[in-house]
Structure 1
């Protein structure tokens, strides 16, 4: 069962949903990740980590813009996952997200997947 959470401010252009699956929490984000919307992304990840599952799958397939604040959040939760024993798996097939990840070489640090199915079934 998923929960849909949408931005409510006039300038907020992000939506997200969360679904608990076996040993993973799937967080799906659509829209733009920038300074204005980053608190929503951080909040969704906080909720996902609070579920205490083995992994959190962050599906960014529907993200059209991914600013540096998004990169910082990924690094933050990757580190938190290492401390708490939760693997953060990021689905980032779109250029809007994959481009910044590869440009900053975060692809060498983060667990990246081309699709949600692969991220959910990875071991």
Structure 2
């Protein structure tokens, strides 16, 4: 992956006592989804609930939806909660269009997701 593509997506990870919080910012597409997958894989390795904050994601392609479903299923297999925070705009439209809003756990903010 060249750095130009990586600059389109930034994912920060913060380990807390009760969960691993990931904050994604930018665009999730076929060029950047591997970064999201890497960070999700690391987060799930901690054995704590995983909270993915999507409030600063401006574009979310279908490969991103695939990654969310993959890690939702991984979480169910391991008994590890996977919670999404504040999907809006194109992210929320994509989740609604695919009815993933009925499958994935969605929260308005990180605090709500942490205390779920």
TM-score, normalised by the number of residues in structure 2: 0.94
Q: Does 1:84 align with 2:84?
A: no
TM superposition shift of 1:56:
0.2
- The residue number in structure 2 matching 1:25 is 20
- The residue number in structure 1 matching 2:31 is 36
How far apart in 1 are the matches of 2:81 and 2:15? 15
From 95, 98, 105, the counterpart of 1:104: 98
Kindly indicate whether the alpha-carbon contact (under 8 Å) linking 1:93 and 1:115 is maintained by their aligned counterparts in 2. no
Q: What's the secondary structure of 2:4's corresponding residue? A: coil
- The residue number in structure 2 matching 1:75 is 69
- Counting matched residue pairs gives 115
- The residue number in structure 2 matching 1:62 is 56
Q: What's the secondary structure of 2:101's corresponding residue? A: helix
- The residue number in structure 1 matching 2:47 is 52
**Per chain length, whose mean CA-contact separation is higher, i.e. which structure has more relative contact order (CA < 8 Å, sep 6+)?**
2
More strand as a share of residues? 1
Q: Does 1:95 align with 2:89?
A: yes
TM superposition shift of 1:92:
2.9
From the superposition, tell whether residues 74 and 21 of structure 1 become closer, same or farther in structure 2 (CA, over 3 Å): same
TM superposition shift of 1:34:
0.1
Residues 10-57 of structure 1, C-alpha deviations (whole Å, 9 max, x = no match):
23300011011112100000000000000000000000001111x100
User: Which ranges of structure 1 fall in alignment gaps of 5 or more residues?
Assistant: 1-6
More helix as a share of residues? 2
TM superposition shift of 1:121:
1.1
User: Which ranges of structure 2 fall in alignment gaps of 5 or more residues?
Assistant: none
